[in-house]
Amino acid sequence: MSAAAPDPLLSVRDIAVQFGGIKALDGISFDMKQGQILGLIGPNGAGKTTLFNCLSRLYTPSSGDILFKGSTLLDRPAHRIAEAGIGRTFQNLATFKNLTVRDNIRIGAHSASSSDMASDALRLPWVGRNEARIDEIVDELIDYLEIGAVADMPVAGLPFGTLKRVELARALASQPTLLLLDEPAGGLNHDEITELGERIKKIRDERNVTVLLVEHHMNLVMAISDVVVVLNFGRKISEGTPEAVQADPEVIRAYLGDAA
């Protein structure tokens, strides 16, 4: 599978997004190789979530292009991004709150399965097979992310950390090649963050998933990323290995300026 995929897996080329007068993204370019974990960091408001929303086609950049497996994502509507092989989680949880954990994850498998309303309503024979396949994917993920104890509970009312795992399971249910994680460590405690880092690496290694990680938690990003891209005010100010980026005076200035 990895042999057939063209290199780079993802290529962001000079994209720009404006909101009114604000340039949320201003000519961002970078590439991602298959199997990488790329950490995307930057102070609040730097444009990280906006970039994610371009990749999942919730926003359309005003210029530039995004290539995934060699072809542009810009002629795909948002609902055909999952089937292209890109899964995501959201910075502020975006679960389906009236549904159970299991159903949330099942919806993650929407693009990995097919059916239509009429066949579903009449329970035609292939519907059962389709549902069984979805359940196979879902059961495996419930085990993998250790959320069996809450699987049949409604999502509303579950603890934040659990919901983050539910979202991760939901994103993996589409069986993505590229996983976009928007601040997965937000709201987690120290031990949970260490566990999360291990889990992300495990997902990359065992499931052959490339990971684009937006995170505020520097230790986590530096510990697991192969490459780090730094944004500030919608511009890319640095790119390189974690060590190189940490030593970059431009990055230090951006962060110290932010803290001051």
Ligand X SMILES: Nc1ncnc2c1ncn2[C@@H]1O[C@H](COP(=O)(O)OP(=O)(O)O)[C@@H](O)[C@H]1O
Per DSSP, the residues of the chain read: -TTTSPSSSEEEEEEEEEETTEEEEEEEEEEE-TT-EEEEE-STTSSHHHHHHHHTTSS--SEEEEEETTEESTTS-GGGHHHHTEEE--SS----TTSBHHHHHHHHTGGGS---HHHHHHT-HHHHHHHHHHHHHHHHHHHHTT-GGGTTSBSTT--HHHHHHHHHHHHHTT--SEEEEESTTTT--HHHHHHHHHHHHHHHHHH--EEEEE-S-HHHHHHH-SEEEEEETTEEEEEE-HHHHHH-HHHHHHHHHHH-
**Segment interacting with ligand X (CB under 6 A) among 42-50, 136-144, 160-168, 197-205:** 42-50
Our finding on whether 230 is near ligand X (CB under 6 A) is no
Question: To the nearest whole angstrom, how small is the minimum distance from the Cβ of residue 45 to Mg ion?
Answer: 8
Q: Does 232 bind ligand X (CB under 6 A)?
A: no
Closer residue to ligand X in complex, CB, 35/43: 43
Question: Applying CB under 6 A, which part among 16-24, 31-39, 60-68, 100-108 lies near ligand X?
Answer: 16-24
Q: Which of residues 45-74 bind ligand X (CB under 6 A)?
A: 45-50
Q: Which residue ranges make up the site for other proteins (CB under 8 A)?
A: 56, 58, 77-83, 88, 90, 94-99, 103, 106-108, 110-111, 113, 115-117, 120-123, 127, 130-131, 134, 148-149, 152-153, 170, 174
User: Based on CB atoms, which residue is closest to ligand X, 8 or 234?
Assistant: 234
